[in-house]
Amino acid sequence: MNLPLFKAKGPSAKDLYIQGLHLLLEGRFTEALSHFIESATLDSDNAAAYYHVGNIFRQRGSLNRAETIHTELLKRHNLPWDLKLKIKFSLIRLALSRKERPRAEELIREAAGESGRAPWVKEELLAVHELAGQWQAALDLKIELDRIKGINDPKRLALYYLENGISLLKENGRAARIQFKEAIKQDPRMPWPYILIADSYFTENRTDDALEFWSKLFDAAPSKAFLIFDKMEKYYYTAGDYGEVGRIYRKMVEAEPENISALLALSRYLFKKGSRDEALYYCQKALQVKPDSREAYFELLRQTMDAAGSLSEIRENVEGLMRICSARKRYTCHACQTRTEEPHWRCRHCGAWDPYGLS
């Protein structure tokens, strides 16, 4: 007897969509994309599936495909308001990645008009203000969001004031300094605003004002003052008052005997001045404070090598080692692990705030 054959029923469009969301959360983007495409194929009315397909394409750099999908989606008349906004935010990011600022700003204005709909809209709007470099708008919205949430987030506000000042710096030094001073009010121990204010004053030949903010940095965040040691030494050397550098370093070491950066800076200064024994003392002191300090070992090696005299072969080998082992301090972003010799308050690779823990 022949029995009728039944074709096994596959997963529904809804099942595929839900599985795709789970895969997306797990970071399995290729599999998620496949599920969303299959879900949309089975149910062309599943606009959310198309949205995720476009999003994954955008994140992978397939900008034309992403734009086509999301632009076509926006033409649908029955889209829920929240999905429509999510699509616009995705298109904002796409336009910014293409440096199409007019288009991005137009979409941002449209999204801002919907910001009263739900808290997540404001959060998303804040993120795109950051991406677009619209720091005054970001500041205003951040203050509003903190008020709504009943929280106090001075560190992030300080960073926004900092970026807003940077955006004003070329055109209006005074306006920029006002923003930097607001950053100091929010977070007095952040080193960057002191440095930027001093740089701005130096640009305007207002030396006394600039030196005042260096002094404020030494008082407010002595452990971060190493960020201006090179600038400071260059300034006082050019001004013919290199002895002031030594006085500043000694004062810092007296105030913070375990400040590695100050100990090594004083050691290098004394070495240059010919006070070899005292220079070696402070270098060894730094190693006592931090036995695994690569910078301290490098400085000790450099100073002891000077006493090698006629041991030319040792000297050449050590010099070769020093050439391949840079003494410059390097910083690793906690978010993307990108390394740099130029620290900043925001990673220039991934955009993470305070990536090196210096603020």
The confidence score (pLDDT) of residue 305 equals 75
Same domain, residue pair 225 and 321:
yes
Residues 322 and 340 in one domain: no
Please name the amino acid found at residue 136. Q
Same domain membership, residue 269 and residue 253: yes
Choosing from 218, 244, 266, the residue where a domain stops is: 218
Q: Say if residue 162 is in the same domain as residue 193.
A: yes
Domain stops at, among 195, 218, 241: 218
In a domain, 229, yes or no: yes
Residues 233 and 282 placed together within one structural domain of the fold = yes
Count: domains in the chain: 3
Asked if the structure places residue 199 within a domain, the reply is: yes
Predicted pLDDT at 214? 97
State the CATH number of the domain containing residue 186.
1.25.40.10
The answer for residues whose C-beta is within 8 angstroms of residue 321's C-beta and 6 or more apart is 301
Q: Which of 193, 218, 243 is the last residue of a domain?
A: 218
What distance separates the 2 farthest-apart alpha carbons in the chain? 109
What angle do the packed helices 154-169 and 192-203 form, to 10 degrees? 20
pLDDT of 1 reads 46
CA distance 57 to 61: 6
Following DSSP, what letter does each residue of 54-86 receive, concatenated? HHHHHHTT-HHHHHHHHHHHHT-TT--HHHHHH
Alpha carbon 210 to chain centroid distance?
26
pLDDT value of position 297: 82
pLDDT for residue 258: 95
Amino acid (1-letter code) at residue 160:
Y
Residue 185 lies in a domain: yes
Same domain assignment for residues 209 and 228: no
Please report which confidence band the pLDDT of residue 299 belongs to, taking 50, 70 and 90 as the band edges: confident
186 is a domain residue: yes
Q: What is the identity of the amino acid at 173?
A: G
Q: Is residue 180 part of a domain?
A: yes
Residue 43 forms part of a structural domain:
no
Residue 214 belongs to a domain = yes
Domain interval for residue 207: 153-218
Are both 253 and 282 inside the same structural domain? yes
Residues 305 and 347 in one domain: no
The mean pLDDT value for 178-190 works out to: 97
pLDDT given at position 9: 67
Q: For residue 210, is it within any domain?
A: yes
Q: Is the pLDDT of residue 35 over 90?
A: yes
Q: Do 333 and 323 reside in the same domain of the chain?
A: no
**226 and 273 part of one domain:** yes
pLDDT of amino acid 329:
77
- Whether 225 and 309 map to the same domain: the answer is yes
The reply to whether the predicted model has a pTM over 0.85 is: no
8: pLDDT strictly greater than 60: no
